[in-house]
A and B are shown apart, each in its own frame.
Chain A
Amino acid sequence: MTEPIIPPAPEVPEAPAGPYVYDYAASPQRQVVMPKTVPLPSYRTYLAEVKAAAEADEAKWKKMQADYETAKAKAEADGKDAPKPPVRPVPRKDDNDLKTPWPQEAKDADLLLLQELLGAKVQEIFEQAGELTCQLEKGALHEALLLCRDHEDLHYEMLADQSATHYPAASDFAYSVVYHLTSISRRKRLRLRILVPEGFVPESACSVYPSANWMEREIFDMLGIAFANHPDMTRILCPDDWEGHALRKDYPVVGWGQRDISFREDRGGMIERIALQKAGQLGINLKQPKAD
């Protein structure tokens, strides 16, 4: 019986002792790719982007024309044929059923009313994909929620959903917290949004909409935003002793021992090596089968 050929083992990082200890840098597979942009929908940003793109397009076209003029003058001086005049490129039209919903100016009566009532506390209002968004100053949220629920022309009875997003690439804020309100009687939906920096404690919506209770606990659990005046600000989905907040962008996707072996690319025989190692720990000799 010949011994099976065991290839040299690549280095596998040792898992730390405790079950809840996370060392992000320890494993190369656990490196987190942080987002580089701030995908916060906004009509103002959209207008600025469109303007910048049009200006860049215009500058490019002017440069093409200037190049043509110099080339033409040079050709005339040399006595050669004049070069072809430039053609302005037309944006490519895709033949598909996609019609990107761009942000649009707010025309809905509810948004205009909110802006009128709250004045400078409303930072931005716009519509996109048929949804109404109202961005508020972070301190004015409680007042806005009360207004939305009780004002006779608004009457948003239900807080359907509350959620938050982590924006690590943003400079002046870290999270956006969104509130999706539903008016059952008027068949309307409205989104309120606040931008909060790291460590800021926004006011809880529980006193206005009791349904915010568990949703705010979930946000606290997943993103680490604590809410002030909340009746029970504890974790809800993860255990109480869990470390870190899973839906932050700096939280790794893989746990210990999951991605350390790639089954698809097991060229170094890592699985076999680990099996032998485990067997050795248990006192089983896999290398030499028992003689009959």
Chain B
Amino acid sequence: MFKNEEMEINLGPQHPSTHGVLRVKLRLDGETITHCKPVIGYLHRGVEKICENQTFFQGQVWTDRMDYCSAVANNLGWAEANEKLFGITVPRRAQYIRTLLNEFNRLASHLIWLATHALDIGAMTVFLYAFREREDILDMNEAFCGSRLTTTAFRIGGLREDLPPGFEKMARKFLAKFPTCLEEYENLLSENRIWKKRTVGVAMLSAEDAIALGVTGPVLRAAGVPYDIRKAFPYAAYAEMDFEVPTQTAADTYARYLVRMAEMRQSARIIQQCLDGMPEGPVMAKIPKILKPEVNEVYHATEAPKGEIGYYLVGEKGSTNPYRFHVRAPGFINLQSLPKMAEGGLIADIVAAIGTLDIVLGEIDR
């Protein structure tokens, strides 16, 4: 007996392709998705509330644990938002080291995206290659701050420590081999017939929709909008760096793949410039041990690997804690566009749509 009616199924919350505990309610007509609703909150820990009850210095460790794939980028945003709140000027050498580590982190985050996205779609080999290179970056994280994933790399006002001896050698060694690694991935994927069939024209999101839905990062740039906060509102040492903002116009999953691959090349370029032009000097500004702000509110946005991460802080006069702390998580806003991408497509393609958004549920649920 064949019935002609829509079927409702749940994708997740426990599913390997949802990158965490994301549940997507789907309504299907045959294999076509007619309705899609993401359900989130399974990883909610109340980071904002916790940070409001801790001092400005203590809050930083929580930013690592939001998006654990790009902990350094989250640390940078937090440190800079606080510096804006207190009016701290960071030494130039610290700015360079921050830029350097942030770009390494972008590489690590994009590599983990490439690995898992390809794995979701069915390309197993890339996973192993990408994790091999990511391991080197995590080793550098470990050399710098003793921690691989949850780094707490920066401090408000600069850095806790200067670069360790031998770090530059490690970084240059990595940079020397990284372009060939990128070529390896591209040889495996770019002209691969199956990869192209699974990605070209899949999960489209036009520039108008992306801007209306607040989508940022590589997803927006793949729709042809050259919006990169590193260029638009320069922070750290990005104003002194020479790099391009790669864009594509196709606005599909394949275009986002191309944008991210091009971004990795630009990141390597920025790292090279940081290493070559590293200034001498102190790495920590002179600030008191206990920071107490005046009445002030700041919204500071930086370009995390996933998109715009913004920190909204309200300072209370004479208090050691932030009065209000809010995170504009890039994944949270980007995930809003999932119904737009997935509806009308096939059920097999929603896995590609989730992968191409590059979400981390720890950051979305906070």
Given contacts A97-B157, A180-B299, contact A39 B323 (CB under 8 A): yes
CA distance A180 to B213 in the complex (A): 14
A100 touches B317 (CB 8 A): no
Closest A residue by C-beta to B318: A37
Q: When the two chains form the complex, which single residue of B287, B295, B319, B366 contacts A96, counting CB atoms closer than 8 Å?
A: B287
Given contacts A35-B323, A163-B312, A209-B212, contact A101 B296 (CB under 8 A): yes
A191 proximal to B (CB < 8 A): yes
What 0/1 pattern do residues 252 to 268 of A give for CB contact below 8 A with B? Answer: 01000000000000000
B48 touches A247 (CB 8 A): yes
A161 touches B332 (CB 8 A): no
Q: Which parts of A71-98 form the interface with B (CB within 8 Å)? A: 94-98
B317 touches A39 (CB 8 A): yes
A184 proximal to B (CB < 8 A): yes
What 0/1 pattern do residues 43 to 58 of B give for CB contact below 8 A with A? Answer: 0101011101100000
Q: Which parts of B82-111 form the interface with A (CB within 8 Å)? A: 84-89
Closest A residue by C-beta to B297: A41
Given contacts A99-B89, A129-B84, contact A165 B324 (CB under 8 A): yes
Q: Using a Cβ–Cβ cut-off of 8 Å, how many residues does chain B contribute to the interface with A? A: 56
B296 touches A180 (CB 8 A): no
What 0/1 pattern do residues 210 to 234 of A give for CB contact below 8 A with B? Answer: 1101110010001000000000000
A106 to chain B, nearest CB (A): 15
A238 touches B44 (CB 8 A): yes
A97 touches B212 (CB 8 A): no
Q: Which parts of A174-197 form the interface with B (CB within 8 Å)? A: 178, 180, 182, 184, 187, 189, 191
B333 touches A214 (CB 8 A): yes
B212 touches A163 (CB 8 A): no
Q: Using a Cβ–Cβ cut-off of 8 Å, how many residues does chain A contribute to the interface with B? A: 53
CA distance A160 to B233 in the complex (A): 14
B315 touches A39 (CB 8 A): yes
CA distance A253 to B54 in the complex (A): 11
B41 touches A161 (CB 8 A): no
Closest B residue by C-beta to A221: B41
Chain B positions within 8 Å of A39 at CB level: 295, 314-317, 319, 323
A131 touches B312 (CB 8 A): no
Given contacts A35-B316, A239-B41, contact A100 B294 (CB under 8 A): yes
Closest B residue by C-beta to A251: B49
Chain B positions within 8 Å of A99 at CB level: 87-89
Chain B positions within 8 Å of A246 at CB level: 46, 49
A211 touches B41 (CB 8 A): no
Given contacts A41-B297, A131-B299, A214-B336, contact A98 B88 (CB under 8 A): yes
Chain A positions within 8 Å of B44 at CB level: 237-238
A203 proximal to B (CB < 8 A): no
B324 to chain A, nearest CB (A): 4
A158 proximal to B (CB < 8 A): yes
Chain A positions within 8 Å of B326 at CB level: 161, 163
A253 touches B328 (CB 8 A): no
B308 touches A211 (CB 8 A): no
Chain A positions within 8 Å of B217 at CB level: none
A20 proximal to B (CB < 8 A): no
CA distance A40 to B323 in the complex (A): 10
Q: What are the 8 closest A-B residue pairs judged by CB atoms, nearest first?
A: A211-B214, A161-B328, A39-B316, A97-B285, A237-B41, A99-B87, A163-B326, A165-B324
Residues of chain B touching chain A, judged by Cβ–Cβ distance below 8 Å, are: 40-41, 44, 46, 48-50, 52-53, 84-89, 157, 211-216, 225, 227, 232-233, 285-288, 293-299, 301, 308, 310, 312, 314-317, 319, 323-324, 326, 328, 332-333, 335-336, 365-366
What are 12 sample pairs from A and B whose C-beta atoms fall under 8 A apart? A37-B316, A39-B315, A101-B84, A130-B84, A160-B216, A163-B328, A178-B312, A187-B232, A214-B336, A215-B333, A238-B41, A247-B49
Given contacts A180-B312, A247-B49, 8 further A-B contacts (CB under 8 A): A46-B295, A96-B286, A96-B288, A100-B86, A160-B214, A160-B216, A187-B233, A247-B324
